[in-house]
Structures are given as structure tokens and as C-alpha cells.
Structure 1
Amino acid sequence: MESKKVTVSGRVQGVYFRDTCRRMALAAGVRGWVRNRPDGTVQALFEGEPDAVEQMVAWAHTGPPQAAVSAVEVTSVPASDPVGFRVVG
């Protein structure tokens, strides 16, 4: 089991980033959450099998077609065993 927190910068709010992230994570079998932050970034927690988590981290570098990702910060974090994948905030 792997758990990573990502913070995505750029034009990532108002472009369906969170909803697309939720759909991609569910399809990949990844648990966690995604949320907009007041500073204009999007933050997500991806937890699951290492390959699936890495798939989501790679996706975060591009995001949905309307997004313009300029940076992605990735941090390994202790597993918290979230249920499902949800948009928070």
C-alpha cells in the first residue's frame, strides 16, 4: 500500500480538475480525496497499490484538458486508509 499527497499548481481550479481526478482515481482503484485550496492550488491524497498511485501522480502532472499544470509537489505520507475517493471542500 502506498500513500502520496500531491499539490498541483497552475490553472487547476474551475477546469473540472477535482471531478476528473475523482473519476480517474475510482477507475484506477485509488482511495483518497481531492480539494481546492484558497491559494489557487489543488491538493489530493492518493492511496492504494503502488502502480495505481503512480498512475494518479502521473495524471496530476497533466490534469484534464482544460488545465494548465505548472508544478506538482509530491510527498509520501503515512497511510490513513480512506474510504472511496471523494471531492472535499
Structure 2
Amino acid sequence: MSNQRQTMLISGKVQGVYYRASAAEKAQQIGVTGYAQNLSDGRVKLVAEGSPAQLTSFRQWCHDGPPAAEVDMVNATEGAATGEFTGFEVR
């Protein structure tokens, strides 16, 4: 099955708790490409591309995040992968 893209908006106590760095580490372990970015409203935006199984695993991790995070909600939208990423970066 071909790769897909998920854009996730993570709400809660997710800034200042190493959420982006931990997400990048997890993405690299799973083999997902994309990026993590803080938003001005306190959320974290993740754009991830990978197989459906990889994205499911990554999204499940996002519901918990790193130990200091308190995730309230993960809002995910799916789309077609563009293949524009070569790794996973923190922006």
C-alpha cells in the first residue's frame, strides 16, 4: 500500500516539554518523515508521511507524547503523501 500523509494538531500541555524533539525521535524510530512545529496558540503541528501502519503507530504515540506532556486532543486529517520529506525535522 502506498504512503499517506497525516497532519496532526496536538492540544494540551505540549510546548516546553520536549514534545517536538520526542516526536522527531519517535518518527525516526518508526520510519516516518515530516516535521513538528510549535504553533502560536500553544498547540503542536505534526505533518507525517509513511505507510498506514507507521502512521497509526505514530498517532498512537502522539496521544501520550513524552513523559512531561499532558495531551488533551489529537486532531488528525489524512491526505495523499507528497514525498517531499527525506527525514523528520523540528521546525
TM-score interval (norm. to shorter): over 0.9
Q: How many residue pairs get matched? A: 88
Query: Is residue 31 from structure 1 mapped to residue 27 from structure 2 by the alignment?
Result: no
With normalisation by structure 1, the TM-score equals 0.95
Structure 1 residue runs of 5 or longer lacking an equivalent are none
What does residue 47 of structure 1 align with? 49
Q: Structure 1 stretches (4+) deviating beyond 2 angstroms?
A: none
- Aligned-pair CA distance for 1:3: 0.9
Query: Over residues 6-59 of structure 1, what are the superposed CA-to-partner deviations in whole Å (9 max), with x where a residue is unaligned?
Result: 000000000000000000000000000000000000000110111111111111
Structure 2 residue runs of 5 or longer lacking an equivalent are none
Give the distance between the partners of 1:11 and 1:60, measured in 2 at CA.
12
Give the distance between the partners of 2:80 and 2:88, measured in 1 at CA.
17
What does residue 79 of structure 2 align with? 77
AA aligned opposite 1:23:
E
Give the distance between the partners of 2:11 and 2:72, measured in 1 at CA.
6
With normalisation by structure 2, the TM-score equals 0.93
Compute the RMSD of aligned alpha carbons: 0.7
Q: Percent identity?
A: 36
Q: Secondary structure at the match of 1:45?
A: strand
What does residue 67 of structure 2 align with? 65
- Aligned-pair CA distance for 1:78: 2.5
